[in-house]
Amino acid sequence: MIVTATEFKTSIGKYLLIADKEDVLITKNGRKIAKLVNVREGKASLLSPLRGILKDANVTRDSIRCERLAKYD
């Protein structure tokens, strides 16, 4: 479901209930700015769009963490 930021603000309770069943995309000035997802789906479902992109890369959880934290050094 796609909803404007204004509509989302005025009916947040309604969209929280909808997010239990499907993703809610929030737009502002016609651009997608946020996505409200069901927390029970788990983190693995968030990575599904990336499957296959890093298939042959040697990427571990520790290497990702180190790279992410390196920008703060």
Domain ranges in the chain are 1-39
- Condensed to tens digits (0 to 9), the pLDDT of residues 29-66 reads 999 999 998 877 666 666 666 666 666 667 777 877 88
Q: What is the pLDDT of residue 64?
A: 77
The gap between the terminal CA atoms of the chain, to the nearest Å, is 40
Per-residue buried b or exposed e for 13-30, using 16+ beta carbons within 10 Å of the residue's own CB: eebeebbeeeebebbeee
pTM metric for this prediction: 0.56
CATH code linked to domain 1-39: 3.40.1620
Which phi and psi (to 5°) does residue 31 adopt?
-105, 140
- Condensed to tens digits (0 to 9), the pLDDT of residues 5-38 reads 999 999 999 999 999 888 899 999 999 999 998 8
